[in-house]
Structure 1
Amino acid sequence: MAVATYALVTIATILTCRLGLGELSTVQWRIFMGVAVAGNALFLFLFMTGLNLRFSDPSLTWIQIFYSTCWGMVSLYALPAARPIVLMFYIPAFSFGMLGLRKGQYMSLAASVMALYGSVLVLEYLENVVVL
């Protein structure tokens, strides 16, 4: 399911760029795709070797959703004109989280994601500040 979600977001990012709503540089594309592949490879490794069983949450639900959110922040930051489109892709991950997380875990995840989004907005603001 994770690979399908990453593929869907990648396709949406490609379409967003093709429609002229934003542009990712070659370096940004490499980071975007490299982080997706590396993260999924790490999770696959953890599950295949059984190392995930050492964690308090063997399904690693919280960290998987948080990781995909961090990954999605790349396109959210790089494509400001397409933010409403990109933000729509967070809904399925959080819907999955409602089913797989306890209330406290879900609330901490929501707070973490809001902090990440706030960081993107602050970073964008600081880049546009004119220094006199």
Structure 2
Amino acid sequence: MPLGQITLPVTFGTTANYRTEFIKFEVANFYSSYHAIFGCPDLAKFMDVPHYLYLLFKMPGPKGILSFRGDLKHSYDCDIEAVHAAKAQLDLEVQEIGSMTQKMKQDDLESPAKKTLSLSTTLDASTKKIVLDEADTSKTAVIGSQLSSE
């Protein structure tokens, strides 16, 4: 869940050829290799042409095309760092589940299918038994006797 939103001015380009747009960012509390992710509305606002394979981003500017190149090595390092962080988090969660499992009683760990159900079907004035399947009258349920036929 996002913590909130913030609108910031973002400037692309150099002093000779630049473009500034106000972009609304969702603020999230999670670890990622990305500092900001531009979605389809932002990309349409820039009228850009992204080329993800080459880490290239082009958009029109006031004095020609603005081109931005990413650093493949840096992107790869960030992805590796994110994978290691996710694995570390998963390892912590597995350890926590393991310690919680050890604290539980053995009866709580049994699957529900192995336990026998003992249902009390005592009827009193406020309940009545109804047949669920006319073909098999052994299939019944207990409901409140004050319910309407609807």
TM-score, normalised via structure 1 length: 0.30
Larger relative strand fraction: 2
Larger relative helix fraction: 1
Query: Which structure carries more relative contact order (alpha carbon 8 Å, separation 6+)?
Result: 1
TM-score, normalised via structure 2 length: 0.27
